[in-house]
Structure 1
Amino acid sequence: MTTTARSPRLLLLSTVLLTVAGVALLGLPPGREQPAPPPTAYATDPSSAATVPPAREPTAGAAPSATSAASTPPAVESALPPHGEGAAGDAAIQQNLEAAWPADLPSDDERELIAAGRALLRADATGVGRVKWPEVFPDSGRAVAPAFATARFRIQAAIARRDGSPDRAVVHLVWAGMDRGGTFTDLRITDWFFTRTEKKGAVTWTPQPRT
């Protein structure tokens, strides 16, 4: 069973999402009924339905690669979309991520990392495509019951950034899914870590196994 990595950036991402949600609520005009605040953005293990608020306790487990210290993100002006809005609110979440952590990777590397991170998350959550990464998913040769339904799985936003060195990177993903118990939750957060290698002029980003 995989676990979501403990990451200062992941904890900071949760704080950013909660902060912009609070700003949106405070900006409501007097006399207007205030909607219920959106649920806490959770850092979760895709193979588990349980969630833990990052502000109280970061998720269990640690990635093999160390994470860099996160800097304070700039003010995020866009408001977090209402909970359960669906795909229509994903663009705002993507904008919040990009505003919180400005790009620091070559565009080609960023695109490659995001594509790999999205595929890894889908494989981890739904079981689809695990055979492509046997080092990451040792059980890829066996039949595994997916933790989340493929039809109700959706990646809401994703960015790739350096992780303390030009040869290390992390892909931050925000996603939604319905678990085996039938519970649908959005604003889930997962990080995937990569190392950069170069052979004969060809650069490869390799995902790191998770414990």
Structure 2
Amino acid sequence: MSPRPTPSPRLLMLSTVVLALAGTALLCLPHGRQSPTPVAAPPAAAVTARPPIFVPSTDRTPTADGAASPTSEAPTPSAVESALPPHGEGAAGDRAVQRNLETAWPADLPAPDERELLSASRALLRADATGAGRTRWPGVFRDTGQAVAPAFATTGFRIQAAIARRDGSPNRAVVHLVWAGTDRGGTFTDRRITDWPFTRTIKKGTATWTPLPRI
């Protein structure tokens, strides 16, 4: 039996090149149409419009769920009036009148100054209304040397409430007094209002409150 012939190197090289070209051609053939990659949508937060800024109106009325407007919290004149006792109630209602004054004008004077002002103004108002004790303040009452018929009777005269507050300056004050009395005609009226001004002078380190004539 004769031996098989050995392939030449040239033939082997040609076969290798053919196989390489065939493999490359197979790799380049398309394997079906591919769909394009979908583009991701932007996040919802990136395209959502900014919510409108709500500014409540100052004249809103209460809503259906009971939420009240800002102005509904402010006391009305009728509410303030209802906080006061009825006319003619007597001394039993004086505490409510005092509380109403203190609420309307918060304290702004030292306690010793307020006590001094209240004590002086009470005596001043009594002297002014009834004529009793006017000689104590000749600088306030110009008619201290004359006989003056009192405008109000001493009987039934009552100071219902009083507060002392600054009057635009640390050296000026005013006392708000609410009082009741019977005039010469026999008519009783309560919740009368009188304001009495004072000025403060300092001598040798001592402060003194001096009443001024009422305008």
Same fold (TM over 0.5): yes
Q: Which residue of 2 aligns with 1:116?
A: 120
TM-score, L = length of structure 2: 0.63
Q: Which residue of 2 aligns with 1:151?
A: 155
CA distance in 2, matches of 1:182, 1:108: 38
Corresponding letter in the other structure for 2:112: D
Instruction: State the Cα distance separating 1:210 from its structure 2 match.
Output: 2.9
SS in 2 for 1:104: coil
Aligned length: 140
Matches within 5 A, 1:19-168: 19-21=79-81, 24=82, 79-168=83-172
SS in 2 for 1:150: coil
Corresponding letter in the other structure for 2:86: P
Say whether the 8 Å CA contact 1:17–1:80 is kept in structure 2: no
Instruction: State the Cα distance separating 1:19 from its structure 2 match.
Output: 5.0
CA RMSD in angstroms comes to 1.4
- Where relative contact order (Cα < 8 A, 6+ residues apart) is larger, the structure is 1
TM-score, L = length of structure 1: 0.64
Larger radius of gyration: 2
Query: How far does the alpha carbon of each residue in 1:4-37 deviate from its partner, in whole angstroms, 9 at most, with x for none?
Result: xxxxxxxxxxxx986512xx3xxxxxxxxxxxxx
Q: Which runs of 4+ in 1 moved over 6 A?
A: none
Specify which structure has the higher proportion of helix: 2
Q: 5+ residue gaps in structure 2?
A: 1-75
Matched, 1:199 2:203: yes
Corresponding letter in the other structure for 1:99: T
